[in-house]
Amino acid sequence: MNSVREWIYTGRHAVAERWHNAPRWTRWAVIGAVIVFFYALPNREFYQWLGPIPTTGSNFGQVLFTISIYVLLAVGLNIVVGFAGLLDLGYFGFFAVGAYTVAVFTSPSSDLKTLWPWLLALPLAIALTMVSGVFLGTPTLRLRGDYLAIVTLGFAEMIRVAATSSEFLKGQRGFNQIPHPPGSYSDGKPIFGVLDPRPYYWLVLTVIILVVIGVRNLNRSRVGRAWISIREDEDAAQLMGVPTFKFKLWAFASGAAIGGLAGALFAGKQNFVSSQNLELLNSIIILAAVILGGSGNIVGAIVGGGLVAYLIERFRGIEFFGVELYEYRFMFFGLILVVMMIFRPQGLIPNRRRAAEFKDRRKEVIVGG
């Protein structure tokens, strides 16, 4: 078993080295081809040649939109969990803040009756979500580990309970007639309508690309280096003069802003927001996606978020001996996680530092045995 693991690690390491040593234009060409592939993916003329990959039990364009939302959330949570090393079990609460902010200021069923257009409410949703991250982080980020996880879990539950019981937030009745993003074709037909989910997928995909560029630059800056030092050893970082609380708060606010952006995009597509969308399971799934893909790696978070969302939807419409497999989707998902944690605990695409750490631990186990 150890020889198989070493073979997999050596192969992955060789591929990574070849990628980093490749000419710059080659890497940009590969990245460009991948981006073109994902932009073409929701078109039937393209995905009909991809064999069993497209979903059969649901609209593939709608599935791709759901996947893109999960990917955006995974990229945001990766800042908190992967870069700064802060265990957050209530990240979906920020998604809810963003979605409800758009709903309250744009929906005709809101008590405010402001009826803002979606585009005007979008920056407000991001700002309020960032502020909520600061408000949550200021009294709680002095906690660590399990204690911080419990507090963030309580935050998500507070949001859910408030949305369910508050008359202002309409409970399970929710907000309807939330406006869609603006834009129309030359014939006057709106780009973002009800029947075609592809424009929404393309919009979120474009947002993901912009967010990834921003997060990548942030991670390579002084802020990113401070996050890494906090993740590796917060006490040592503080002794070396790193203002750990400030940078942890920065990570919380940045991750919250991306979560709120995802919620605002979701509200603009669904045209409806209610407390039924705020299950605790969603926070657990996003955290599992980051860990599955590779905590601390942007590409790993993207792969993890996309893979988790796709696997959950892939079982829809599939029967085995008369049994609907979609009903057991989370059982299969749990089995995959257990197998991953046994054979590849660092995730599918870990960052170099974590991969080196796990390699050293394997050597220690072998020597100790």
Closest Cα to residue 58, out of 282, 312, 286?
A: 312
pLDDT of residue 39: 94
pLDDT of residue 265: 96
**pLDDT higher than threshold 70 for residue 225:** yes
pLDDT of residue 98: 95
**% of the chain beyond a pLDDT of 70:** 89
Closest Cα to residue 109, out of 155, 156, 170?
A: 170
Q: Could you count the other beta carbons within 10 Å of the beta carbon of residue 12? A: 15
User: What is the arithmetic mean of pLDDT over 217-240?
Assistant: 89
pLDDT of residue 65: 94
**pLDDT higher than threshold 70 for residue 355:** no
> Using one digit for the tens of pLDDT, what is the confidence trace for 244-291?
899 999 999 999 999 999 999 999 999 999 888 788 888 889 999 999
The amino acid occupying position 45 is E
Determine contact, residues 70/282, Cβ cutoff 8 Å: no
> Could you give the 3-state DSSP secondary structure of residue 168?
coil
User: What is the arithmetic mean of pLDDT over 45-73?
Assistant: 88
> Using one digit for the tens of pLDDT, what is the confidence trace for 189-214?
899 988 889 999 999 999 999 999 99
pLDDT of residue 303: 93
Residue the block writes with tokens 């979605």 = 99
Query: ∠ CA 216-100-59 to the nearest 5 degrees?
Result: 75
Q: pTM value?
A: 0.90
Q: Could you count the other beta carbons within 10 Å of the beta carbon of residue 365? A: 10
Could you tell me which residue, 144 or 262, shows the higher pLDDT?
Answer: 262
**pLDDT higher than threshold 70 for residue 366:** no
Determine contact, residues 98/261, Cβ cutoff 8 Å: yes
In this predicted structure, which of 71-80, 122-131, 242-251 has the lowest mean pLDDT? 242-251
> Could you give the 3-state DSSP secondary structure of residue 288?
helix
pLDDT, averaged across the chain: 86
Question: Binning pLDDT at 50, 70 and 90, where does residue 66 land?
Answer: very high
Closest Cα to residue 211, out of 71, 9, 366?
A: 71
Please spell the DSSP secondary structure of 302-367, one letter per residue.
HHHHHHHHHHHHHTTT-EETTEEGGGGHHHHHHHHHHHHHHH-TT-SS--HHHHHHHHHHHHHHHH
> Using one digit for the tens of pLDDT, what is the confidence trace for 298-314?
999 999 999 999 988 88
Determine contact, residues 65/196, Cβ cutoff 8 Å: no
> Using one digit for the tens of pLDDT, what is the confidence trace for 88-128?
888 999 999 999 999 999 999 999 988 999 999 999 999 99
> Could you give the 3-state DSSP secondary structure of residue 175?
strand
Structure tokens at 165: 């019981």
Hey, what's the torsion of the CAs at 65, 67, 73, 76, to 10 degrees? -100
Determine the angle formed by the axes of helices 60-78 and 298-314, rounding to 10 degrees: 140
pLDDT of residue 368: 52
**Dihedral-angle region of residue 319 (phi above 0 means left; psi in -120 to 50 means alpha; beta otherwise):** beta
Question: Binning pLDDT at 50, 70 and 90, where does residue 332 land?
Answer: confident
Closest Cα to residue 78, out of 262, 306, 254?
A: 254
Residue the block writes with tokens 């997999």 = 8
